[in-house]
Structure 1
């Protein structure tokens, strides 16, 4: 990101089903990075596009929910704001504290925004792997979202090819840990440069940032005027906030029960048997 304000960024792109989120969370926890998840900012970005008068964003909001996914692929791509959201992600990152470094992952991470070399990598699954993973999420090939996600694989692959970006083919033969190790190797020099959170307390604050973004994603969706009522028992997997670099535990918790701010007074989310350090006096935000 050059001389612009904000943290150093490692960019991890790819279509839905590539494994970006799993890999980015592993690396962030292991190295003391901030995890920025573009999905968690979807509704914030869509609201921003509507406020700016983006015609396709407005059209998507106005269509009945059942009709949003029935159009041809070019129309679905336009209403997805795939190209527009990359710049919004970059704006979000520039607003973050300069320390520690951030690993930013998401489908809107495009070569135009991230650049093609050094600090950017795209996970590109085979069509068979992506289809299997989308089916495991409960999606159907008859769904418009399924068609959009398959189309995004081809669009992103073409973009990365055109820009000469670094890519890692995901063929289903490796575990998430093995894929994360390959991504770490690709980012080894950038990871060595840092800066990173140096204490468990600082890492606890970063984990809370990532968890709080998941809560915001849930709340912003159900705040839409067309959204159904929020299920009171809707749960998600939050990262354990112990701050141990070797911890990969998640805590399944109803979103409504996630501890409320302000953060220094908010109880940590912990896996069984894990302990939390004190909240940092000077935290990485």
Structure 2
């Protein structure tokens, strides 16, 4: 299989992957591709999977093994999704906990962020605080135990393959971590400002809308928590964002905020 151009940011929850990837992509005019925003799109293309609660009930080692198995199945789908974006030589910044060093032999630019247990717990609890998700709260401890096993696996694979691994403490130096990630990923070619950069930012925003609405329907949320949508103005280096729900995004885009605003 021929892979499209990609740079990867992998690692465990709480490591700042999403924030750093978003910041890097917008500052460097790169397409952003968080794997989690394609979760429901992938479910339709995967074989039937056991419910998460069943996997967690088998213990952290078994649950971690199941997670890695699904991640390997999703790899081909991630590659196909990035290829569909028609980016040419411009790499997508692919981000998510599903990306393991043993899967990245074809990706020369990759980095893994590993938070300590306290930071991972904080991140999961903050995520739960943003939405009324009783099922998520009930499985928190089981997820944290699985996270520990997965973090050990990432560390071992990264060391075995000589890949870049950045440890994230409970008191992270986010500026230093971001700089280390940028150094590891280098200076890839950028999206052309204007129509192409605008098109890719809209593609990312629409993916967030689709994922959010499907998640809301799946777990029965009365209201979605806000998501940071990217500016679609197409100006090089524009990092302006607006937080809102998919429905609010639709309204704001019709009003022109995401294509022309003072921050640009």
Instruction: State whether TM-score is above 0.5.
Output: yes
Specify the alignment match of 1:104 in structure 2.
94
Cα distance 1:140–1:272, how it changes in 2: closer, same or farther (>3 A)? farther
Partners in 1 of 2:257 and 2:242 — Cα distance? 11
Unmatched tracts of structure 2, length 5 or more: 129-136
Cα distance 1:112–1:69, how it changes in 2: closer, same or farther (>3 A)? closer
Out of 125, 150, 159, the residue aligned to residue 135 of structure 1 is 125
Specify the alignment match of 2:76 in structure 1.
87
CA drift of 1:114 comes to 1.7
Partners in 2 of 1:160 and 1:116 — Cα distance? 14
Cα distance 1:249–1:147, how it changes in 2: closer, same or farther (>3 A)? farther
> Which 4+ residue blocks in structure 1 deviate beyond 6 angstroms?
none
Cα shift readout 1:240-282 (whole Å, capped 9, x = no counterpart) = 333444443321212223228xx9x89453696335xxxxxxx
Partners in 1 of 2:99 and 2:53 — Cα distance? 28
Cα shift readout 1:177-223 (whole Å, capped 9, x = no counterpart) = 432222111222xx24x1x1131443222221221111121133345
Cα distance 1:159–1:66, how it changes in 2: closer, same or farther (>3 A)? closer
Q: What is the aligned length? A: 252
Specify the alignment match of 1:75 in structure 2.
62
CA RMSD of aligned residues (A): 3.1
What aligned pairs does 1:84-233 form with structure 2 within 5 A after superposition? 84-99=73-88, 100-115=90-105, 118-138=108-128, 142-188=140-186, 191-192=187-188, 194=189, 196-223=190-217, 227-232=218-223
Cα distance 1:171–1:245, how it changes in 2: closer, same or farther (>3 A)? farther
Larger relative helix fraction:
2
Partners in 1 of 2:80 and 2:234 — Cα distance? 28
Partners in 2 of 1:77 and 1:233 — Cα distance? 28
Cα distance 1:90–1:113, how it changes in 2: closer, same or farther (>3 A)? farther
CA drift of 1:102 comes to 1.0
Specify the alignment match of 2:240 in structure 1.
249
Unmatched tracts of structure 1, length 5 or more: 276-285
Q: What is the TM-score normalised by the length of structure 1?
A: 0.74
